A = this chain, B = another copy of it.
Amino acid sequence: MSDLRGLSFIGSSRGAAGARTFRAENPATGEPLEPAYHAATADEVDRAGELASAASEAFGIASGQARGAFLRAIAEELERRAPEILTRAGAESGLPAGRLQGELGRTASQLRLFAGVAEDGTWADVRIERADPNRKPAPKPDLRSMRIPLGPVAVFGASNFPLAFSVAGGDTASALAAGNPVLVKAHPAHPGTSELAGEAIVEAVERCGLPEGTFSLLFDDGFAVAERLVQHSLVRAVGFTGSRSGGEALMRLAAVRRDPIPVYAEMGSVNPVILLPGALEQRGAALAEGLHASFTLGVGQYCTNPGLVLLEAGAVGDAFASALADRTEATPAGTMLTPRIWRAYEGGLERLQSLGATRLARGAPGDGNASGQTSLWQVDGAAVLQSPALLDEVFGPCTLLVRYADARELEAIVRSLEGQLTATIHAAPGEAAANGPLVRLLATKAGRVVFDQFPTGVEVNPAMVHGGPFPATSDGRSTSVGTRAIDRFSRLVAYQNAPNEVLPAELSNAEPGSDPRD
């Protein structure tokens, strides 16, 4: 750890020791972690923006091979620092070693996946319409178009994935893959992990001979750097994973710019799970086991945590609830990411209670500093329709059983849901097909509809959609996981009647000297 300096990366230089500092804290012990981190100054943010904009001119036209090599170099540099990264991330996040090991592997493979996307080039959607000088009534011009990078992208690290959704995570990987310089605002809960990952990227920038502004990393435990970044005239897009209030604040800042820019904020959701009567009848005990594992995974700190479970009132559902309560009671407490997140969790539980939900069970109490106690809640369907605040996310290891009266009430509740990252349905054979309108309704509410499995695992592959209508994300057209995430950081440009030599390689004729205009 002796290498950590607590200073931002402004391109390849380090930030100055500014006036304001903060330290990470070990959430398990409350102990502050060295070194002190210096918040980036306004001048440093501006300098990073200018470097990024200048870098954009060269990096924006680097070949797919060059971008791919860069992403692979980042993966290698991360892996080379694995021991330090895993130790520091464990201390800063309270996450267990196995989980962090897996997350580092996922982060490196994600970088390599996007390297492949950059090298393959299909994402750029190249289209070539050749000229037809004899077309009537007017000649047809040569027209060629493709996706190109937007320019500097500001990325905000997430608290709950210190690696896979942070400095070298999916937003950074996809923005770089498309050819955009990236300015990361590190999450203040894990500045040391961020500094190590940032060092890996800066090292890769140098190894690959890319312009230094291709990447910068800014520290801050307040909102000043975020505000300046999102309003910076040279920043062209924003990627964020975090809370709804944080995401909405960035959306507002971007919308009031002189030139509004896209904000891709993934703001989590309550991820409804519907247990249809046939499924409960057939495999209630297995469902209780699966659901328990899913909502307590990682102390419930997943965007895709199943926080709302819809099942019919009656004896079969009661047996399920009772089995789930037994498992809940046997659950040990777990250290949450930060004391602040733990306090917000406790506040969310108080809100559930004040809105009339009943606590069915709770797990073992914790004795640590930010120790999250698992809990299981229940309410009837009518209450949810009357108090929609019961449908708001509580981030942490709890879930709310909603006991609906009949299919009609179930549909009304599903209609009342806001946008979701995921929606899950468990059904007996044939039961999902018999509920076609319900399935179609779920597809209008969520980015991913899951059948007979649980939503917490998010595959990283070409078919993944980790998105969903507002407020699950700020832009329900997109996904922040999977290869399509690259589309977010690009725009279309067409060249009409261009001489072959000025066309980007992807659009030009293969034969040297050939001219589209001939």
Contacts and interface: CB of A to CB of B under 8 A. Distances in A.
A261 to B, nearest CB: 8
A260 B517 CA distance: 44
B465 A494 contact: yes
Interface in A36-85: 57, 60-61
B140 A57 contact: no
Contact of A452 (B436, B450, B517): B517
Contacts of A451: 495-499, 502, 517
Interface stretch (A14-22, A275-283, A403-411, A484-492): A484-492
A355 interface: no
Contact of A496 (B60, B151, B449): B449
Contacts of A453: 141, 496-497
B492 A467 contact: yes
A211 to B, nearest CB: 15
Interface stretch (A87-95, A217-225, A473-481): A473-481
Contacts of A129: 459, 461-463
A50 to B, nearest CB: 13
A251 interface: yes
B61 A440 contact: yes
Contacts of A427: 499
Given A449-B495, A451-B496, A476-B491, A143 B461 contact: yes
Copies of the polypeptide in the assembly: 2
Interface string A430-468: 001100110110011011111111000101011111010
Contact of A447 (B432, B479, B494): B494
Given A144-B463, A259-B419, A443-B148, A477 B498 contact: no
A332 interface: no
A401 to B, nearest CB: 22
Nearest to A492: B465
A432 B259 contact: no
A367 interface: no
Contact of A128 (B60, B251, B463): B463
Given A143-B459, A492-B447, A436 B502 contact: yes
Contacts of A141: 453, 457, 459
Nearest to A516: B451
Nearest to A479: B492
Interface string A248-262: 000110010001101
A490 B477 contact: yes
Nearest to A471: B259
A295 interface: no
A449 B145 contact: no
A459 B140 CA distance: 8
A127 B494 contact: no
Contacts of A446: 493
Nearest to A439: B502
A138 interface: yes
B259 A470 contact: yes
A439 B57 CA distance: 12
B140 A443 contact: no
Contacts of A459: 129, 140-141, 143
Contact of A448 (B452, B479, B494): B494
A374 B289 CA distance: 77
Contacts of A491: 467, 469, 476-477
Instruction: Please indicate which of the listed interface residues A150, A446, A478, A492 has the most CB atoms of chain B within 10 Å of its own CB.
Output: A492
A394 B463 CA distance: 46
A501 interface: yes
Given A140-B459, A457-B138, A502-B432, A465 B449 contact: no
A251 B254 CA distance: 12
A448 B76 CA distance: 39
Contacts of A478: 492
Contacts of A440: 57, 61
A496 B450 contact: yes
Contacts of A140: 459
9 contacts: A144-B463, A145-B464, A150-B477, A255-B260, A262-B475, A448-B494, A451-B496, A453-B496, A464-B494
